[in-house]
Amino acid sequence: MHAALPVVRTPVGALRQVEAAVNADRAAARLALDLDADALLLASATDGPDRPPDPSEARIDVVREFTDRGGWLGAIVPLTDAAAVLRGEPVAAVWGPGAGVRLA
């Protein structure tokens, strides 16, 4: 898990820490959209040697929203499959115009 330090800018321009819950997947998607990135890959842990766990609905929503807003490819994959996705090889959980496979 990555740590985040949420801050706000005060009226005089200084930064002040605030209490907040930051959804790392949504933050990554927002950053990808702001940077006009083509792809968003959310890496997942594996559930055994060959099978990733089923992605949560929240993660699926983040990836679908990214592709709906113009991202070319969005995926939730084990880290070991990330390079394969970017090379265009089929994996199970990929969305968008750049995807070879789409979950129903």
pLDDT band at residue 101, thresholds of 50, 70 and 90? very low
Work out the angle at residue 59's Cα, subtended by the Cα atoms of residues 55 and 65, and round it to the nearest 5 degrees: 135
Q: Provide the 8-state DSSP code for 38.
A: S
Q: Domain residue spans in the chain? A: 23-95
- Asked if 7 and 15 touch (Cβ cutoff 8 Å), the reply is yes
The model's confidence at residue 97, banded by pLDDT at 50, 70 and 90, is low
Which tens digits make up the pLDDT trace of 33-92?
Answer: 999 999 898 887 765 555 555 677 888 889 889 989 988 888 888 888 888 888 877 766
pLDDT of residue 1: 43
